[in-house]
Structures are given as C-alpha cells and as structure tokens.
Amino acid sequence: MATEDTTGSPAVDVKKTQIYPPTSSSSGRQVTPFWREKYEREAMRYWDLFYKRHQNKFFKDRHYLEKEWGRYFQERDNLVLLEVGCGVGNTIFPLVSTYPAIYIHACDFSPRAIDLVKAHNNYRDDQINAFVCDLTWHDLNEWIPSSSVDIVTMVFVLSAVSPEKMPSVLQNIRKVLKPSGRILIRDYAYGDLAQERLTDKEQQISKNFFVRGDGTRVYYFSEDFLTNLFKENGFDDKNVSIYSKQVENRSKKLVMKRRWIQAVFSLNSESATGLTRSIDQDLSAQRFELINSSKAPTLHTEVDVSESIAELFDSEPSFDEDMKTGMVIGSGFGGLMLRLLVITINARSCCFKIRGLAREYQHTCQSTGLMLWESAHIMCTVIAENPSIVAGKRVLELGCGSAGICSMISAQFAEFVLSTDGDIEALRLLRENVTSNLEQNLVEKIAVEKLVWGASQDLQAIKELGCYKGGFEVILGTDVCYSPGAIHPLFFTAKELLLNETWGKPKPSLILCHIQRRVHEDSIISAAADLGFRLKDRWVNGMCRNDGIISSWFSSDSSWNDSVNTPLTILYFELGDLRT
C-alpha cells in the first residue's frame, strides 16, 4: 500500500498550483536514434564523467537505510552484502560503521567511482571488495562466488539501466545470491516531479525512460512494472510500496510531488537451477556479441561541462570552498526564498564566481534566467580560446540570464558589450555578478539592459544607447531557442539590432549556441531565412566537422574540444543584403 508523507504545514485557503501535474500520455517527440544509441553505448562514460566532475561531494551518506531495512541486516551474523551501483560509497560506509562485522562486495561501472571508494578513509581490503563491473554484460562470478551473498542493495541504480537490459542485471545478481537472500531496492517512481519535467523538455528515450542534461539516464518505475520484472526473472516480492511526498512552496502557492518506489524481493527457489544455466548462456552470448561488434563499454576521461543532477530523496548536493550554498530572501525575487550557489567557471586565464539558482530548485521559480545553462558555459570557453570572435567589436548578448559569463569573457576583448534579458530579477542578479567578478575598467565596458524580443519600446531604448552606433557587429545567444513561439521575435530583434553595413570589415554575425531541445532546427533556420538571415556555418557535436568558420574555433589543443557530452549545436548567421 502506498503511503503519504506530507509537509505538515498549516492549510491555506488559496488555491495551490501543482508543478507538472501527472500526465497519462507518453507521446511526443523523443530523442533521435543517433543520440539514443550514443547514450546507450557510452553510459559508462557519462557516469564516469559525472564522478570526475563531482568527486565524492554530490550525494550524502544514506543513513536512513538502518531505519528502513535495519531488521534485514540484523537477522544473521557474518552478513555478506553486495551493493550494486555503489557510486562513491554513500551506502556501504554507513553500513560498515553500523555493522562492523559485515563484509561488502561493492561494484560500479564507473572506474572513477571505484577509485573514490578505495580512497575513502574507512576503506579496508579485508572488509570491502570494490571492483568495476557492468552488470549488463560482465559476469559477477568473476569477483563473487555463487550463492554467497545474503543481501543485495540497489539504491537508485536499476533506473540507470535501459529497460531491455534490466533482466540481464537481475539474472546476473541471482547467481551470487543465497537461496535465503534478499534484494532491497529503492528507486524512482512513475509520476515524480523530475519525470514530468523531463517530459516537458522532450528528453524521452522510450516509455518512462529519459535522459538527463548530463547524458545519464533514468527510468521511472510503476509498481506493476517492477513487480513483474522481478517475478519474470525468478523472484518473489515481499513488500513493494510507492511513497509520495508533497513539497509545498507556500509563498508561491506551488505544490511539487516527489515519488519513489521501495521493495524487497527474495529468490523463487523452484526455478533456480534452470535459470542459472540460462544466465550463463545469455551472458556469454552477450559478451561475445559486444566484443565482436566493437560495442563493449569504453572509458573516456574528458571533462564534462554539462548540467548536474541531484538525487531526489534524503540528500542535497554539498559543495567545496568554490561551490557554497547560501540563502537569499528579498522582494527582488517576489518574496521567494531561493537557494543560490556560487559556481566557479574557469575559461583560460579567467575565473568567474557566479551566483545563481541551483538547478534542482528551478521548478520553484518561473524565471529560467536565474540558472547557468550548459551552452553559456561552452560558448564562454569558445570565446576565451578564440578572442578574434569578438575582439574590437560591439557585442550584444540576447537572453544572457543572471550568469552573463559570455558577456564577461567578451568584455576582455570587445570594444563594448551589451547584456540583455527580458527578466528583471535575472538582470538584477546579473549586475551583481558583473561587478563582483570584473575590474572596474571592464565593468565600464558592459551595459545591462532589459530587452523583450520584438518589443518596440525596448528596441528603441537600445538604439538610443551610446554603444549602439548603428548596430552591433556580433550578437550572441546561448540556449535561447527552446520555445517555438520565441524564434521569430528572436530573429526580428537580431535583425533590428545587427549592424547593416560593413565598409570592408568582416560581416556582422549572429551566433546561436544551444542544446537540442524541443524546437526542430529546420524551423529555426526557416525563421531566420524569412527575416533575411543566411546560415553561413553549422556545427553539431558528435558529428563530422567541416572546414568552416566554427570548426576553426576548435584547435587540437582545446581544453574541452571533445569533452562535451550533450547534443550541442552552434549556428552562425549573417544578414543577406548589407551595404559593403
């Protein structure tokens, strides 16, 4: 039976708005086959990059396991446990502390995560056997004897496996579990807030299976799906429950639903012998196919600059000295209590400390401009490595949000930079970021102004600024192509403000950098053409690069060239008819 865990806050008379109410439809445009295959093929790589970026500072230790499952750990002496998807040890080290006699096998398919486990102060070789293993094709018997494990814990890990490979994982685990053993599982449930958010962003791979912004994947389980999955693979369910928690933001009258599933399974002994034999055959066939088709998991060690994710329950991200949390309350944010982070961005010799809204709190605020988006981080690095893009030019940034890192890096080289956004709160925080990161001589080279695309009053106000001088030579936009209704006003605004004469100088340009989202690229290019823009060059991460303008920005010694693991696109436009 499902249980309800509410906030316990006093009732209010006003109507509350639920964030992302559950949807019954899984229709909609999914990720392309190219990216679906890439996410599957490089699943190990995306998680390894996640741990390279966050080290052991992202998830908190899971001390709640003693409360939830303590009776299973206390049932017998000399307990042997297997932690599947151990990460950096947030499950195993609390258990070792609570049960000193326990022996733990810990596996993860991220080599970097296993290295962090072994580097932990409480790691002991005689108590913990940590090893790298992909359970979809490795054989657990290479590390663990058959029928030797009392308990298997799977905490937010099965959801990271594609649904068609989940049976292989369970069959593999079954080989090492004792006849009296149990599997304890906690994972994401169907209808959770995060699922609805990913659906809204059209990041769906298949039914209930999604990709996050950093390339890691997540499945949202229904009670029936999880129960049938285990039963079909030789397990009986002892306790399966869906848990809900409604989080309220009373100042904004918002209700956010969080859901997770928790279950205990035991072996069905009747089919053990036959199933074990089929497991050996199936895994051997999978390994043969993977090895001979060159699809075996490969490991890369580049730096990931894509967005982070947060485990939804019982944890919040923690940060080192360069990433500190803080609370801000003020009328400037509509009276809303926001959790702001200080995020350090390094671009060549520049280092910016940006205050912005933590990504996991984005659903509590209508403004998307209070967060640092992936494309801004990437474009900032591109400009830092290629100053000629903006050197000596008047630069306009559209939809810069509160971070403004593209504007701040451009100010190092440009004649002048105008940073614009349509959100007043984002601009207010942007001014703070600019003044706290730049020396006074550079602050004087940046103006911050409100600009709603297509708004005649705002356009006229921009044209009356001293920095306008007949138009801007470079216009930048990062992650501004996410809404179909905003595409035409975006290009109309760019056409109004782009310099329309060159007099022997390079043609003015509009440069858009974005993560592929719900707006199809053909519609972007079509809207641009309708307003007189010509697509001069196009670059797509993960595809063959040409010899055009954009490709020349990526030198062989680029600090991040091949490290971007998101479906990134850069479009370079010029106006067709200019006075030369």
Residue 3 domain flag: no
- For residues 284 and 375, state if they share a domain: no
- For residues 214 and 90, state if they share a domain: yes
* Confidence (pTM): 0.50
What is the model's pLDDT at position 325? 33
Which of 15-19, 377-381, 472-476 comes out lowest in average pLDDT? Answer: 15-19
R_g over Cα of the chain: 26
Rounded distance between C-alpha atoms, residue 549 and residue 537, angstroms:
7
Residues 6+ apart with CB under 8 A from 260: 186, 187, 188, 189, 192, 242, 243, 312, 313
What six digits make up the tokens of 293? 């088709």
Residue 562 domain flag: yes
Which of 12-21, 100-109, 523-532 comes out lowest in average pLDDT? Answer: 12-21
Type of residue numbered 168: S
Residue 350 domain flag: no
User: Residue with structure tokens 């782009």?
Assistant: 498
- For residues 281 and 380, state if they share a domain: no
| Closest to 316 measured CA to CA, from 333, 295, 339, 296 | 339
pLDDT for 299 beyond 70? no
- For residues 287 and 375, state if they share a domain: no
Residue 93 domain flag: yes
Residue 395 domain flag: yes
More confident residue, 547 or 85: 85
| Closest to 282 measured CA to CA, from 136, 164, 82 | 136
Residue 133 domain flag: yes
User: Are 222 and 190 a contacting pair, CB within 8 Å?
Assistant: yes
What is the model's pLDDT at position 276? 46
Torsion angles phi and psi, residue 113, rounded to 5 = -65, -45
Residues 6+ apart with CB under 8 A from 526: none
Rounded distance between C-alpha atoms, residue 112 and residue 545, angstroms:
30
The pLDDT tens digits of the residues spanning 169-221 come to 999 999 999 998 999 999 999 988 878 777 766 678 888 898 877 778 889 99
- For residues 286 and 424, state if they share a domain: no
What is the pLDDT averaged over residues 342-353? 84
What is the model's pLDDT at position 183? 94
The total domain count for the chain is: 2
Choose the final residue of a domain: 292, 310, 329. 292
Which of 59-68, 449-458, 505-514 comes out lowest in average pLDDT? Answer: 59-68
Choose the final residue of a domain: 254, 271, 292. 292
- For residues 396 and 496, state if they share a domain: yes
Residue 491 domain flag: yes
Residue 327 domain flag: no
CA end-to-end distance (rounded Å), the chain: 74
pLDDT for 21 beyond 70? no
- For residues 448 and 547, state if they share a domain: yes
pLDDT for 511 beyond 90? yes
pLDDT for 562 beyond 80? no
Report the phi/psi class of residue 513: left, alpha or beta, with left for phi > 0 and alpha for psi in -120 to 50: beta
pLDDT for 383 beyond 90? yes
What is the model's pLDDT at position 249? 61
- For residues 285 and 390, state if they share a domain: no
The sign of the dihedral angle between the CA atoms of 331, 332, 338, 339 is negative
Which of 2-6, 83-87, 548-552 comes out lowest in average pLDDT? Answer: 2-6
Which of 31-45, 79-93, 322-336 comes out lowest in average pLDDT? Answer: 322-336
- For residues 44 and 132, state if they share a domain: yes
- For residues 267 and 386, state if they share a domain: no
Rounded distance between C-alpha atoms, residue 175 and residue 148, angstroms:
9
Proportion of the chain above pLDDT 70, given as a percent: 71
- For residues 275 and 382, state if they share a domain: no
Which of 378-387, 448-457, 540-549 comes out lowest in average pLDDT? Answer: 540-549
Domain membership of residue 399 as a residue range: 369-575
CATH code assigned at 37? 3.40.50.150
- For residues 533 and 428, state if they share a domain: yes
User: Residue with structure tokens 């991220």?
Assistant: 110
User: Are 134 and 109 a contacting pair, CB within 8 Å?
Assistant: yes
